[in-house]
Amino acid sequence: MKRLLAVPSLTFLAIGSLAAAVFLTQPDSLVAQKQKGGPPPNILVIEQEMLKPGMSGMAHQKTESAFVQAMANAKSPVHYFAATSLSGPSRALFFMGFDSFADWQKSEEPLMQDSTFGAAFDSASQADGKLLNSHSVVVFRYQPDMSVHPDADLAQMRFMEITVINIKPGHDAEWHQLAKLHNQVYGKIPGMGYAMWEEVLGNDGGGEYIVTAPMRSLAEMDAHHAAGAKAWKAVSADQKQKMRDLEASSFQSIHANLYVFNPKMSYPSARWKAESPDFWGKQ
């Protein structure tokens, strides 16, 4: 099934701050239960398309519109949203959220049994594939104990900063200790919030975490950086060194990139369209 990746920059731990947690699109029944904001879903499915040079923009929007139309024609209750890169390699990310793996299966079974949808999906995939260098799907599990204030209403957001953290094999204990200290430093900042996710399927080697931070505008990045710097300045020298040591011992790599939401490549819920018709209604 198509549609699925993406976190905040500020260099996450020890020198940065994260902002605004993600609430991903889910079947309408789940969205109705949680309404505006609320905790993120337990399972996050992210699809990443790495684009050939010159194949982003209108060219990619055209091929993606075929997927959106196929979902709409099938009246699929499963919704997704897309985000395209503003930094790093040219790519598009597609997000879907579910309360469980069983819910994921249940939501897609009707589509897999629909031959008309299947034909439309295959045709769209062939056209879209000509624009791509690679395609991947990664599945993450929400980590509530490593998240802070994850209750943002994603329907109102327009950008997302994503931090990808790879942990050294056998160093999970240091990583969890570092995340706890980070939360103590930045978790009390007004307006701050982020969601942490651990990879469970998709990447070779595993050990990947992502931190998601959507924003209404890029002006929020300036405010978050300033608040993060202020919070870090108040940390004791001993705690700063402890966090630096834990980062050095547990991190294999860390990088962040910025994405902008793309409504024309998304299949949003009726609620999202009703609340932001000038944005999510653009299809």
Along the 283 residues of the chain, how does pLDDT read in single tens digits? 454 333 333 333 333 333 233 334 444 433 333 345 678 999 999 999 999 999 998 999 999 999 999 999 999 989 999 999 999 999 999 999 999 999 999 988 888 899 999 999 999 999 999 999 999 999 999 999 999 888 788 999 999 999 999 999 999 999 999 999 998 888 878 777 789 999 999 987 678 999 998 889 999 889 888 888 999 999 999 999 999 999 999 999 999 999 999 999 999 999 999 999 999 997 6
Q: How far apart are CA 42 and CA 39, in angstroms?
A: 9
CA angle 225, 25, 32 (to 5 degrees): 115
The pTM (predicted TM-score) of the whole model is: 0.86
User: Count H helices, E strands: the chain?
Assistant: 9, 8
Class of domain 12-270 as given by CATH: alpha beta
Q: Are 193 and 20 in contact (CB under 8 A)?
A: yes
| Residue 169, phi then psi, degrees to nearest 5 | -55, 135
Measured between alpha carbons, how far apart are the two ends of the chain, in Å?
Answer: 21
In three-state secondary structure terms, 70 is helix
Neighbours of 113 (CB within 10 A): 9
Backbone angles phi and psi of 257, in degrees to 5 = -145, 160
At residue 2, what are phi and psi to the nearest 5 degrees? -85, 150
Structure tokens at 91: 């790519």
Asked if residue 171 lies in contact with residue 130, where contact means CB atoms within 8 angstroms, the answer is no
Q: Is 61 exposed, middle or buried (0-12, 13-18, 19+ CB in 10 A)?
A: middle
CA 206, chain centre distance (Å): 18
| CB 267, CB 31: distance < 8 Å | no
